[in-house]
Structure 1
Amino acid sequence: MKRNNKTKQSLLLLVSLWSLNITAQEVWNIDQCMAYAVEHNHIVKQRHLEADNYRMDRMKAIGQFLPGVSGNVSAQYNFGRSVDPETNTYISKSTFNNGYSMEASIPIFRGGSLINQVRKSKANLLLGKAALQEARDNTALETFQAYIDALYYYGTTRLAKQKLAESDSLLYKTRRQETLGLKGMADVAQMEAQQASDAYNLTHQQNLYETAMLTLKQKMNFPIEEALLLDTCLLEQSTLEQEQLAIEHADNVFRLALNCNPVLKQAEMQKQSANMDRKISWSSFVPSISLYGGISSSYYKELHQTGYPPFHTQFENNFGSYFGISMSIPIFNRLSGIANMRQARNNYRIATEQYEAQKEELQKLVQQAVQDREGYLKESIQMEKKVASDSLAYHVTRRKYEEGLMTSLDVQNNAATLLESQTGLLQSKLTYLMKCRLVDYYKGQDIIRNNE
């Protein structure tokens, strides 16, 4: 009875461990991999901190409109010759001085530089957000490409296994027919060579798949030692099921990309920031006006002497305040003002040219992506038809070979043609999916689709 209980407990333990192992091996789809990569990417984290610094710069620019307030407290012991604050004459006594003051100042006019600093900080803040978005998008796109490569080599490995299984089966039948006198040694040798070639190809494809998986894990910053199971449902779908092509012109996609592309947004904000620097440089030629004021009080006493008014009395009697306005007029600054203004103007022109160049580059990328999407869709549809025809031709040739109506070379040629067609279909289908996602990205849609 005890032995049966122990056996049941052992079985329950094994079942629980097996279920935990199955649960731990989660299947990762392409959006989960991209989200994981973005979350753990170091460049994305750096861009996030840089965007926060731009936010602090904007806070400082807004704070320049507020008054600046400072306070001062001093205490001083004098021994020997010093100035008596009551009579303003020199005395030779030991004294103690205690002073308090507070001052405030506020800028009234700075030639428009303060408001332009705020506008520049706003442009830089948007620049930081666009740089952060670019880092996220680039990480997601690189992960997408690595995922597609891993799926491709997974598919080629599966095709290589099927090809090797076909060769093993055909080699077995050829050997059987050779023993019956229906085939010769040349046919057996040819099939053995084909089987060895297919075994090598399988090993080669498995190595490429392992390399692609390593690259994907590195792009994701995924632990190398942990297993990563990919969702292979995309390989089972036909091109018609995946078709997302809509009748739209590349110019329409480009117009949408102008409003949402983070790279172009950065160039636009750099142009706007350079324009604000150009306007700020003008302020060095105009007067600046500030308003200031303050209060102060003090306490004085000779050491080892009595009869001085108490602290609160002196503090009230010595209390004073002041108020004023100041204006600074630039007269000659050793040509630095005119040089800074011309440099700012040149920087603005440079930023304008960079923006126009980036816009042209974006248009080329959009046109290429739309053209590639349409081209790979057509290729995938035609390759599906070709795979169906090559598969039929291979099976007919194999049957005729088994009947002695075809040679082994005919079988090898048809098998190689079928494998090439299947590989081409796999590549064009996966590339079409990637181009569809890229075109949607240029249209303003998120690369990572969490709702799918």
Structure 2
Amino acid sequence: MKVFFIGILLFCINSFASAQTESEIVFSFNEYIQGVKKNHPVARSANLSVESAQEGIVAAKGEFDPSISYTNNQKTFNGTNYFYYNNAELKIPIPIGMDIKAGVEDNGGNYITREVTIGKTSYIGAEVAVLKGLLIDKRRAAIQQAKILNSQSVQERNAMVNDLLLDAALRYWQWYGAYAQKKLYERFLDVAKNRLHLIVIAYQQGDKALADTIEANAQVLNYQLLLGESIIKFNKASFELTDFLWDENAMPYFLPGHFIPDTTALQDYIVPLSLDDLMNQAVPNHPEIKQYEFKLDALEVERKLKWQSFLPALNLKANLLNKGYNALYNVADAAFLENNYKFGIDFKVPLFLRTARGEYRKTQIKIQQTNLSLASKKWQIQNKINSYYVQNQLYAAQFQQVAALINSFEILFRNELLKFNNGESSLFLINSRESKLLETRQKMIDLQTKLVVSKFQTEWAAGLLF
């Protein structure tokens, strides 16, 4: 019976022996986070939004593209040539409220309108806004707003990437925590197995009681159970990390089973934060704040454009005319300039200015609303930073306390081992001390993970992750 019982114990020791696996490869946090920034669909989509805004600038500048037009209109009836009109024109918009025009005409017929010159003629001239539209018009406002929208899209991208990297960092450090817990249980399980093996030998030699072997085996079984649970959590964390793994071809891939987190990099992220530095960087540079500031810039352009509606529209048009297709022929002759021109004035002013007043006031209200939203957003961000900063400091203080507590429990555990070897203690007390030490080391891993996560959350709140 004694031999049978010893066989059962030895079987329990070896039943959970780990199989030889593929060599482990460290998957560093920097490598992981750079891959997320470069290949994740959210990051790519954010970059495409910036490219789209850049194309918006190109489209807005298209309003100042030169254009060529040609019109032809003619009529012949019962053999009579009533009229024919041919007009080709080059128009060049200038971004100072002016359009330059040059064209050639060839007109004729028996019933041609009297205000049109018969034969081949040419002209060169300009149309300029003197009051409304002199400082800014819809075309120039569109370009300015397109440029502001481009800058705003950059900040929107930064905000999206800031959120993405926080989620990605949380997944990595949760994966790290699950891995560290698994390794902790493996280490304690190895110690418990070795202890059980030695106690079994001592029991065979009559130096230990059967109760000691049962106590040692119970500890092994308990650690095996905890290790099994930690493996489940580690596998779950690995699958959750896979959500952020994409290759350069925008294809997702699974985290290889032999990849492990970089356990040496944790110390690089357990560093004290400066609240003043975070605030000084967040208030002027946070992407969400910058978005509101660029929105205000766009509204300021709109306000200036709406203000133009209060001004009368006064447009001057002047053309230099010439015979033939050379508009500048003999232009140096003063008499020629006096006798070959076409001039016109367009003037318009609304009497009540109700449209101008209403549109301008609407823009002012938008500016006020945006300023209020900006003030609220600044306060929210400052509160977030303060909240996560305080949380980070509390975790840092607890981290130091748990480190001291681990040191105390290790001393007590070693002392209990010494007493046990001298026959002054029991295996029950050894297991109790060891379980307490294990529990405290678990808390240490949890605090390490929370401390790093809170650091990233604080930097996220300050808009610094992108």
Shift of 1:180: 4.4
1:432 counterpart residue number: 451
Alignment partner, residue 224 of structure 1: 253
Q: 1:283 to 1:389 in 2, by over 3 A?
A: same
Alignment of 1:135-174 (within 5 A): 135-174=160-199
**Which runs of 5 or more structure 2 residues have no equivalent in the other structure?**
1-21, 84-107, 113-119, 330-339
1:135 and 1:277 mapped to 2: Cα distance?
27
Partner of 1:347: helix, strand, or coil? helix
Change (3 A) 1:219 1:290: farther
1:304-358 CA distances to partner (integer Å, 9 max, x unpaired)?
A: xxxxxxxxx99799x998554434434579x655443343233222211111111
Q: What are the superposed Cα offsets for residues 244-272 of structure 1, whole Å, 9 maximum, x if unpaired?
A: 437x5x34531232122112111222233
- Which residue does the alignment assign to 1:18? none
User: Which of 381, 384, 400 is the matching residue for 1:362?
Assistant: 381
CA distance in structure 2 between the partners assigned to 1:154 and 1:321 by the alignment: 87
In structure 2, C-alpha distance between the alignment counterparts of 1:195 and 1:261, rounded to whole Å:
52
Residue 39 of structure 1 is matched in structure 2 by: 38
2:272 corresponds to 1:245: yes
Residue number among 363, 370, 384 corresponding to 1:351 in the alignment: 370
Q: Distance in 1 between matches of 2:80 and 2:433?
A: 112
1:400 positional shift:
3.8
Cα distance in 2, alignment partners of residues 68 and 106 from structure 1: 16
Query: 1:194 deviation in Å?
Result: 2.8
C-alpha contact (below 8 Å) 2:245/2:253 kept by paired residues? no
Give 1:280 shift: 3.0
Report if the CA contact (8 A) 1:38-1:220 is conserved: no
Looking at structure 2, the residues matched to 56 and 289 of structure 1 have their Cα atoms a distance apart, in angstroms, of 33
* Contact 1:292–1:324 (Cα < 8 Å) also in 2: yes
Matched, 1:203 2:228: yes
Mark the CA change 1:137 to 1:292 in structure 2 (over 3 Å): closer, same or farther. farther
Q: CA offset at residue 36 of structure 1?
A: 0.8
Report the residue type matching 1:203 in the other structure.
G
Q: Per-residue CA shift, 1:399-444, capped at 9, x if unaligned?
A: 5446554444433332222112112222323443444556567778
**Correspondence 1:9-88 to 2 at 5 A:** 27-59=26-58, 61=60, 66=64, 69-74=67-72, 84-85=82-83, 86-88=108-110
Structure 1, 282-291 or 76-85: larger mean CA deviation: 76-85
Equivalent-residue separation in structure 1 for 2:75 and 2:432 (angstroms):
106
Contact 2:314–2:345 (Cα < 8 Å) also in 1: yes
- Measure how far apart 1:148 and its partner are: 1.2
SS of the residue corresponding to residue 346 of structure 2 reads strand
**Alignment partner of 1:326 is 2:326:** no
TM-aligned CA distance change 1:167 to 1:104, over 3 Å: farther
Q: What CA deviation, in whole Å up to 9, does each residue of 1:277-320 have, x standing for no partner? A: 344333334333445577999xxxxxxxxxxxxxxx99799x99
C-alpha distance 330-181 of structure 1, shift in aligned 2 (>3 A):
farther
Deviation of 1:161 (Å):
0.4
Partner of 1:422: 441
Contact 1:73/1:99 (8 A) holds in 2? no
For the residues of structure 1 that align with 2:210 and 2:318, how far apart are their CA atoms? 110
**Aligned pairs (5 A) from 1:267-286:** 267-286=292-311
* Maintained 8 Å contact 1:150/1:212: yes
Worse-matched range after superposition: 267-276 or 130-139: 267-276
SS at match of 1:253: helix
Matched AA of 2:110: N
Q: 1:152·1:430 contact (CA, 8 Å) conserved in 2?
A: yes
TM-score, with structure 1 as normaliser = 0.72
DSSP 3-state at the match of 2:213:
helix
User: In structure 1, what residue type is equivalent to 2:185?
Assistant: A
**Identical residues among aligned pairs (%):** 15
Shift of 1:153: 1.0
Letter in 1 for 2:176: L
Could you say if the C-alpha distance between residues 225 and 367 of structure 1 is closer, same or farther in structure 2, counting changes exceeding 3 Å?
closer
Structure with greater helix share of residues: 1
**Which residue in the other structure is 2:408 paired with?**
389
Amino acid at match of 1:362: I
Label 1:212 to 1:327 Cα distance change in 2 as closer, same or farther (>3 A): farther
- Alignment correspondent of 1:308: none
Equivalent residues of 1:271, 1:355 under 8 A apart:
no
What is the rounded CA distance, in whole Å, between the counterparts of 2:447 and 2:405 in structure 1?
13
2:108 matches 1:110: no
How far the C-alpha of 1:155 sits from its partner, in A, is: 0.6
Name the CA distance, whole Å, in 2 between partners of 1:215 and 1:293.
Answer: 71
CA distance in structure 1 between the aligned counterparts of 2:156 and 2:320, rounded to whole angstroms = 48
CA distance in 2, matches of 1:72, 1:102: 16
Work out whether residues 292 and 325 of structure 1, in 8 Å CA contact, stay in contact via their aligned partners in 2. yes
Partner of 1:411: 430
Q: Deviations over 1:6-55 (max 9, x none)?
A: xxxxxxxxxxxxxxx98xx8643212211110111222222223223333
Tell me the equivalent position of 1:261: 286
Indicate conservation of the 8 Å contact 1:286/1:330, yes or no. Answer: no
Query: Contact 1:37–1:220 at 8 Å: present in 2 too?
Result: yes
Distance 2:192 2:52 in 1: 63
In 2, Cα distance between equivalents of 1:234 and 1:119: 46
**What do the CA deviations read for 1:128-155 (whole angstroms, capped 9, x no partner)?**
1111222222222222222111111111
SS of the residue corresponding to residue 350 of structure 1 reads helix
SS of the aligned residue for 1:224 comes to coil
CA contact (8 A) 2:37 2:43 kept: yes
